[in-house]
Chains A and B, each alone.
Chain A
Amino acid sequence: MSIQDFIKNEVTSNDVVLFMKGTPQFPQCGFSGQVVQILDYVGAPYKGINVLDSAELRDGIKQYASWPTIPQLYVKGEFVGGADIVREMFQAGELQSFMNEKGIKVAAKA
């Protein structure tokens, strides 16, 4: 299975996927840690994938969404954004409504 197939499979078989540096328990980059905090705060169930586990994955994910940085958040197979966009959406309350729209239970008020 190519790395692109692996990524496609992960983002289509999991509702919410966060490609990050480190793990949700031990983020190894400030930006990844920010998105983990936001997802935990809104209570969105997600799968964390540590791109540091494989250089091929670390580069492959950047090609997949033609997005040059990590972390990357995917909801229902769709690339939502990196740390900036997720934080901006969260602060505007858009992240919660976006998740609800996609059928993912999160705390509405947040």
Chain B
Amino acid sequence: MGKEAGMEAAEIERLIKEALPDASVEIRDLAGDNNHYAATVISNSFKGKTRVQQHQMVYAALKGQMGGVLHALALQTGTPEG
């Protein structure tokens, strides 16, 4: 697969873990085109945060790729206790 637009799952996981070191990250490729993923991110740093804030933390970890290079990332976030 050529290096066209989009991001590799491992790259997404690396960026999220760089920003949220304790996070457990599970990524599912929805379309096999490096552009449509679903990700579940569990981290203590989400504690006390609203869903919007939790997702914003993950988007921030992706350093502006979200919505640009990466078109779709269906996010599920939570704290270890769920």
> Chain A: residues with CB nearer than 8 A to chain B?
31, 62, 66-70, 79-85, 88-89
A80-B74 Cα distance, complex, nearest whole Å: 16
Least Cβ–Cβ distance between B36 and chain A, in angstroms: 9
Tell me which residues across on chain A come within 8 A of B67, comparing CB atoms: 62, 68-70
Main secondary structure of the interface of A (DSSP, over half): mixed
* B50-66 interface with A by 8 A CB criterion: 51-52, 55-56, 59, 64, 66
Least Cβ–Cβ distance between B22 and chain A, in angstroms: 22
A67-B56, A68-B59 are contacts. A84–B76 as well, Cβ < 8 Å? Answer: yes
**B40-82 vs A, Cβ < 8 Å mask (1 yes, 0 no):** 0000000000011001100100001011100010111000000
A66-B68 Cα distance, complex, nearest whole Å: 14
Whether B75 lies near A84 (C-beta < 8 A) is: yes
Which chain B residue has the least Cβ–Cβ distance from A66? B56
A31-B72, A68-B59 are contacts. A85–B51 as well, Cβ < 8 Å? Answer: yes
Whether B75 lies near A68 (C-beta < 8 A) is: no
Which chain B residue has the least Cβ–Cβ distance from A59? B67
Q: What 5 pairs between A and B have smallest CB-CB spacing? A: A68-B67, A68-B66, A69-B67, A85-B51, A84-B75
Whether A81 lies near B55 (C-beta < 8 A) is: yes
A68-B66, A69-B66 are contacts. A81–B76 as well, Cβ < 8 Å? Answer: no
Tell me which residues across on chain A come within 8 A of B55, comparing CB atoms: 67, 81-82, 84-85
Whether A88 lies near B59 (C-beta < 8 A) is: no
User: Beyond the given A66-B56, A68-B68, A81-B55, could you list 18 further A-B residue pairs with CB under 8 A, ordered by the A residue number?
Assistant: A31-B72, A67-B52, A67-B55, A67-B56, A67-B59, A68-B66, A68-B67, A69-B72, A70-B67, A79-B52, A80-B52, A81-B51, A81-B52, A82-B55, A83-B74, A85-B51, A85-B55, A88-B76
